[in-house]
């Protein structure tokens, strides 16, 4: 097969707020090759990612992503890895390229899986598809009582692992944060996993993070996520060396494999959290998972958006029985749910797993997405260089 | 003062080739505050960087760069650092933001220097402005004889340090590369510094790089630049531990301070090469220079474009007498020279230094740039969200 087309569908809520909720918009990618179709998603700024695909070249290693993709051979996984190397080389100086490529790469796996009638996790070499324990991500409450109430609600809703973060966490005193963490534990009871997400709030201030450790360990928190900015390995390592029972977690900011493996090799994280829709897709995510297995680090997906992104993020560690916990979008915005007509739902045990269907096993629903689609046009010197794709005919007829 | 406006001027050669020559286009940034003006430059994909400035927000930490800049107070260097933290926070998930912000940050220093009637290097705390030895960057020849001829020409043109790279280097056999390196040394004679640039050609393949070491050391090369991709610290360290006389160099790909300091802390580089127009501007570059001084690493600018970018890249290490060598754009494309009416020229000793004039000391020449300017328009849902700025009246009249 040859890659014939790459189309971007930019969807968003009518109003996008300042919430730390990444499900408010989406950039879907459709790739076609010899009549076959695959879908992926970039967890990234839609307009900027589109620009990185079609921008005029700046020089030989600052080329648009399109230059390395359109027309390329696609006969198997090796071709995906080969095209990934092309993009990395030809778009070396185009920072956004990694985010743009991520959605395309995911679509290539989906396409290849459909052609071969295999789920992507089998194409990756896994022979089993293990159930994962989904955790619910929630905002820390405005008051400890609110945090406690939310924790209770999450238990009522059946979650055995819950993550709290953002909101006020890390911005006030360590004592105030300790109250929230204790409230979260109280609300969850003793038998649920408690995860805390600092959302990079301390930059690279190790002391600020260390000041929170005691409360986290008293509450038996499983991990402290993203205490620092993603490249601050020295800070991560300093914190990890002081932590006893709580593990340091991070990785969602990684846009290359090395950024994630460095967090393991130098940062001492116990949990490496990878967003396939940012790191360059499923292939790079699997490479990080392999590295994690070799180093005794637990792999966890990062997913806050659609079930297409969720499926993509589950594939790289579907076959790893011991890497049990998985991030699950609990309250995504309607646009994120509208992306697909099917969803990955918890089973009777409250567990989820990657689909068994070919490719990513997710049916993209352009009809459902129509109310959210946004139309982009870009001109240079009054010549149109980009127009959003028309929605396919069969969909248009429905409107 | 308050920041009133940020304007982008996208300029390019009529034809942009696949050469590894970053001077074929440019993204200039003009910032105004209370009637004052400053200029900066992004060493980045122009269209993509503009998109990152104006894109609709995706969520609270994936905001356009504009959201953290327009209307902000600007009374001194602390404000620049403060706005940098705002951008890092609010655009955490917008990968291109670092490149966009770099040009704005540089313009803020230029503006502040003009208001205070001080060169930027004084605002950074330096009391002296030391001369640097410029090195010429050249493509490796197609044959060793061509490389030898180019080396001789560079000496004839007065350069006492010359860098060869890209072209065929690293893509064929180690023996072929050795012939080129020996030819370069022969052409330069014994008393010039020879620098070799591998342009990330080996990815993270340490053995491929080690296979070139002997030839480099026989030719007394000062450094081997960018043997690997920027995040491959493990590979850099492995190579550094095997090198004796030749130093490992790198850093131009850094888009955060930590990316550069990690190359020092973990990668064992002896030369840290920073492009102010990519790493987030002059403030982050100075932070890397401080780190380099503390760790006995040599700071070098990376500059392949205009003299505005050159001035910006010289400021962060202007006061460091022992960090002597500097990258100097030897054969930039006409668009890069057209950006300014004045240029940083070698003195009688063949040395260059940062301007003594206020700000960056570079006069941007929109008249000269007119033939190269490109007009960008971006619409979302048929509403114009971006139009390139009109060229100021006084310039238009001249045309």
- Who's near A294: CB < 8 A, 6+ residues apart? none
Mean pLDDT computed over B367-382? 96
Query: Chain B within 8 Å of A36 (Cβ-Cβ)?
Result: no
Instruction: Say if the Cβ atoms of A20 and B45 lie within 8 Å.
Output: no
- Who's near A178: CB < 8 A, 6+ residues apart? A212, A214, A215, A218
Residue A61 distance to chain B (closest CA, Å): 6
Please give the Cα distance from B31 to B106 (Å, whole number).
10
Q: What is the DSSP string of A247-310?
A: EEEE-TT--SHHHHHHHHHTT--SEEEE-HHHHTSHHHHHHHHHHHHHHTPEEEE---S-HHHH
Positions of CATH 3.30.390.10 in chain B: 3-118+364-398
Residue B383 distance to chain A (closest CA, Å): 9
Residue with more model confidence, A312 or A391: A312
Classify domain B123-338 at the CATH topology level: TIM Barrel (3.20.20)
Q: Which one of A52, A58, A231 has the shortest CB-CB distance to B25?
A: A58
Tokens of B119: 């060169």
Positions of CATH 3.30.390.10 in chain A: 3-118+364-396
Residues of A with CB below 8 A from B17's CB?
A: 59-60
Q: Which one of A25, A234, A262 has the shortest CB-CB distance to B231?
A: A262
Does position B352 have pLDDT exceeding 60, yes or no? yes
Instruction: Say if the Cβ atoms of A52 and B199 lie within 8 Å.
Output: no
Residues of B with CB below 8 A from A236's CB?
A: none
What pLDDT, in 10s, does the model give residues B301-335?
999 999 999 999 999 999 999 999 999 998 899 99
Question: What residues are paired with B340 via a beta bridge?
Answer: B364
A246, A269 in Cβ contact below 8 A?
A: no
Residue A233 distance to chain B (closest CA, Å): 8
Please give the Cα distance from B51 to B378 (Å, whole number).
8
What pLDDT, in 10s, does the model give residues B30-78?
999 999 999 999 999 999 999 999 999 999 999 999 999 999 999 999 9
pLDDT at A392: 66
Confidence of residue B166 (pLDDT cuts 50, 70, 90): confident
Residues of B with CB below 8 A from A199's CB?
A: 61
Instruction: Say if the Cβ atoms of A380 and B56 lie within 8 Å.
Output: no
Please identify among residues 110-129 of chain A the ones whose CB lies closer than 8 Å to any CB of chain B: none
Instruction: Say if the Cβ atoms of B51 and A56 lie within 8 Å.
Output: no
Q: Which one of B48, B99, B381 has the shortest CB-CB distance to A55?
A: B48
Instruction: Say if the Cβ atoms of A380 and B22 lie within 8 Å.
Output: no
Please give the Cα distance from A161 to A156 (Å, whole number).
12
B31, B108 in Cβ contact below 8 A?
A: yes
What pLDDT, in 10s, does the model give residues A70-89?
999 999 999 999 999 999 99
Does position B399 have pLDDT exceeding 50, yes or no? no
Query: Chain A within 8 Å of B388 (Cβ-Cβ)?
Result: no
Positions of CATH 3.20.20.120 in chain A: 123-338
What pLDDT, in 10s, does the model give residues A49-66?
999 999 999 999 999 999
CATH number, domain B3-118+364-398, options 3.30.390.10, 1.10.287.130, 3.90.1200.10, 3.40.50.970: 3.30.390.10
Does position B398 have pLDDT exceeding 80, yes or no? no
Confidence of residue A394 (pLDDT cuts 50, 70, 90): low
Domain A3-118+364-396: give its CATH superfamily.
Answer: Enolase-like, N-terminal domain (3.30.390.10)
Confidence of residue A168 (pLDDT cuts 50, 70, 90): confident
pLDDT at A139: 86
Q: Which one of B22, B62, B378 has the shortest CB-CB distance to A45?
A: B62
Instruction: Say if the Cβ atoms of B24 and A258 lie within 8 Å.
Output: no
Mutation site for A-interface testing, chosen from B13, B20, B27, B47 by largest number of A Cβ within 10 Å: B47
A52, A64 in Cβ contact below 8 A?
A: yes
Instruction: Say if the Cβ atoms of A93 and B44 lie within 8 Å.
Output: yes
Q: Tokens 């998972």 appear where? A: A289
Pairing of strands B193-197, B221-225: parallel
Q: Which one of A60, A98, A231 has the shortest CB-CB distance to B258?
A: A231
Does position A155 have pLDDT exceeding 80, yes or no? yes
Say how many C-beta atoms besides its own lie within 10 A of residue B208's C-beta: 18
Residue A379 distance to chain B (closest CA, Å): 5
pLDDT at A13: 98
Please identify among residues 177-206 of chain A the ones whose CB lies closer than 8 Å to any CB of chain B: 199-200, 203-204
pLDDT at B138: 87
What pLDDT, in 10s, does the model give residues B106-138?
999 999 999 999 999 999 999 999 999 999 988
Mean pLDDT computed over A297-313? 97
Instruction: Say if the Cβ atoms of A47 and B20 lie within 8 Å.
Output: no
Instruction: Say if the Cβ atoms of A232 and B94 lie within 8 Å.
Output: no
Please identify among residues 212-251 of chain B the ones whose CB lies closer than 8 Å to any CB of chain A: 229, 231-234
Angle at B68 between CA B67 and CA B72, to 5 degrees: 110
Does position A398 have pLDDT exceeding 60, yes or no? no
Residue A55 distance to chain B (closest CA, Å): 6
Does position B375 have pLDDT exceeding 60, yes or no? yes
Please give the Cα distance from A75 to A52 (Å, whole number).
26
Residues of A with CB below 8 A from B375's CB?
A: 379-382
Q: Which one of B47, B60, B233 has the shortest CB-CB distance to A56?
A: B47
Mean pLDDT computed over B247-267? 98
Average pLDDT, chain A: 96
pLDDT at B397: 40
Residue A130 distance to chain B (closest CA, Å): 30
Query: Chain B within 8 Å of A59 (Cβ-Cβ)?
Result: yes
Q: What percent of chain A has pLDDT over 70?
A: 98
Query: Chain B within 8 Å of A88 (Cβ-Cβ)?
Result: yes
pLDDT at A220: 98
Average pLDDT, chain B: 96
Query: Chain A within 8 Å of B331 (Cβ-Cβ)?
Result: no
Residues of B with CB below 8 A from A43's CB?
A: 93
């Amino acid at each position: 097969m040859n890659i014939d087309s790459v189309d971007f569908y930019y969807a968003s809520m009518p109003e996008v707020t300042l919430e730390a909720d990444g499900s408010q918009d989406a950039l879907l990618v459709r790739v076609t090759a010899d009549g076959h179709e695959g879908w992926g998603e970039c967890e990234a700024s839609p307009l900027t990612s589109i620009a990185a695909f079609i921008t005029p070249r700046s020089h030989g290693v600052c080329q648009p992503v399109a230059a390395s993709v359109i027309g390329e051979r696609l006969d198997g996984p090796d071709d995906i890895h080969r095209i990934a190397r092309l993009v990395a080389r030809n778009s070396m100086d185009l920072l956004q390229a990694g985010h743009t490529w991520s959605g395309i790469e995911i679509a290539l796996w989906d396409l290849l899986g459909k052609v071969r009638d295999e789920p992507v996790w089998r194409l990756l070499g896994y022979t089993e598809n293990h159930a994962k324990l989904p955790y619910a991500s929630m905002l820390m409450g405005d008051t400890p009582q609110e945090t406690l109430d939310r924790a209770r609600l999450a238990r009522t809703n059946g979650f055995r692992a819950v993550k709290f973060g953002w909101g006020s966490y890390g911005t006030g005193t360590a004592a105030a944060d300790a109250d929230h963490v204790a409230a979260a534990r109280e609300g969850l009871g003793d038998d649920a996993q408690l995860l805390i997400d600092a959302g990079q709030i301390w930059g690279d201030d190790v002391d600020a993070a260390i000041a929170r450790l005691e409360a986290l360990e008293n509450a038996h928190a499983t991990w402290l996520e993203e205490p620092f900015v993603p490249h601050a390995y020295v800070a991560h390592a300093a914190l990890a060396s002081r932590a006893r029972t709580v593990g340091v977690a991070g990785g969602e900011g990684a846009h290359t494999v090395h950024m994630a493996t460095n967090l393991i090799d130098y940062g001492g994280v116990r949990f490496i959290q990878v967003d396939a829709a940012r790191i360059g897709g499923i292939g790079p995510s699997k490479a990080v998972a392999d590295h994690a297995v070799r180093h005794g680090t637990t792999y966890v997906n990062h997913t806050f958006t659609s079930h297409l992104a969720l499926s993509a993020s589950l594939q790289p560690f579907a076959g790893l029985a011991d890497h049990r916990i998985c991030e699950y979008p609990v309250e995504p915005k309607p646009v994120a749910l509208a992306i697909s007509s099917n969803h990955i739902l918890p089973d009777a045990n409250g567990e989820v797993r990657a689909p068994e269907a070919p490719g990513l096993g997710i049916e993209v629903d352009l009809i459902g997405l129509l109310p959210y689609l946004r139309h982009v046009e870009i001109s240079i010197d009054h010549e149109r260089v980009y127009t959003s794709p028309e929605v396919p005919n069969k969909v248009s007829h429905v409107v």
